[in-house]
Amino acid sequence: MTTKEQINNNVWKSCDIFRGTLDSSEYKDYILTILFVKYLSDLHKEKYEELYKKYKGNEERIQRALKKEKYKITEDSTFEYLFQRKEQPNLGEIINKVLSKIEENNKEKLDLIFRNIDFNSEAKLGNVKERNVILKSILENFEKLDLRPSKISGRDVIGDVYEYLISRFASDAGKKGGEFFTPSEVSEVLAKLTSKEEEGLKIYDPTSGSGSLLIKASKEIKNKSFRIYGQEKNGQTYSLCRMNMFLHEIEDADIKWGDTLRNPLHLENNHLAKFDIIVANPPFSLDKWGADELQNDRFNRFSYGMPPKSKGDYAFVLHMIKSLNENGNMGVVLPHGVLFRGSSEAKIRKKLIEDNLLDAVIGLPSNLFFGTSIPACILIFKKNRSNEDILFIDASREFEKGKNQNKLTPENITKIYETYKERKEIEKYSHLATLEEIEENDYNLNIPRYVDTFEEEEPIDINKTKENIAKIENELTQLKTKMKGYLEELGL
The pLDDT tens digits of the residues spanning 104-154 come to 998 888 888 898 899 999 988 989 999 999 999 999 999 988 988 888 865
How far is the C-alpha of 430 from the C-alpha of 398, rounded, in Å?
13
The pLDDT tens digits of the residues spanning 56-70 come to 999 999 999 988 888
**Which range among 145-159, 275-289, 358-372 shows the weakest confidence by mean pLDDT?**
145-159
Angle at 119 between CA 113 and CA 121, to 5 degrees: 120
| Highest mean pLDDT pick, 8-17, 182-191, 311-320 | 311-320
pLDDT mean across residues, the chain: 88
Q: Characterize the bridge pairing of strands 390-394 and 358-363.
A: parallel
Is residue 330 within a helix (H) or strand (E), and if so which, with residue range? Answer: strand 324-335
CA atoms within 13 A on the CB side of 5: 1
Nearest to 195 by CA among 156, 222, 229: 222
Is residue 131 within a helix (H) or strand (E), and if so which, with residue range? Answer: helix 128-143
Q: How deeply is 379 buried, as exposed, middle or buried, from its count of CB atoms within 10 A (0-12, 13-18, 19+)? A: buried
Nearest to 312 by CA among 393, 207, 217, 396: 207
The pLDDT tens digits of the residues spanning 258-286 come to 999 999 999 999 999 999 999 999 999 99
The SS3 call for residue 144 is coil
Mean pLDDT of 192-214: 91
How far is the C-alpha of 366 from the C-alpha of 352, rounded, in Å?
26
How far is the C-alpha of 258 from the C-alpha of 271, rounded, in Å?
17
Percent composition of the chain: helix, strand, coil (DSSP 3-state, to 5): 45, 15, 40
Mean pLDDT of 7-21: 82
The SS3 call for residue 256 is strand
> Running DSSP on this structure, what letter comes out for residue 90?
T
How far is the C-alpha of 28 from the C-alpha of 165, rounded, in Å?
9
CA torsion sign for 102, 103, 104, 105 is positive
Mean pLDDT of 343-364: 96
First to last CA, the chain: 73
On whether the CB atoms of residues 359 and 391 are closer than 8 A, the answer is yes
How far is the C-alpha of 184 from the C-alpha of 173, rounded, in Å?
17
How far is the C-alpha of 120 from the C-alpha of 95, rounded, in Å?
8
- Torsion angle of the four alpha carbons 129, 133, 138, 141, in this order, in degrees rounded to the nearest 10: 160
How far is the C-alpha of 279 from the C-alpha of 203, rounded, in Å?
8
Q: Characterize the bridge pairing of strands 376-382 and 324-335.
A: antiparallel
Nearest to 209 by CA among 246, 179, 184: 179
**Which range among 14-18, 78-82, 300-304, 305-309 shows the weakest confidence by mean pLDDT?**
14-18
Nearest to 102 by CA among 37, 29, 44: 37
Sort residue 326 into left (φ over 0), alpha (ψ -120 to 50) or beta.
alpha
Q: Give the bridge partners for 448, in sequence order.
A: none
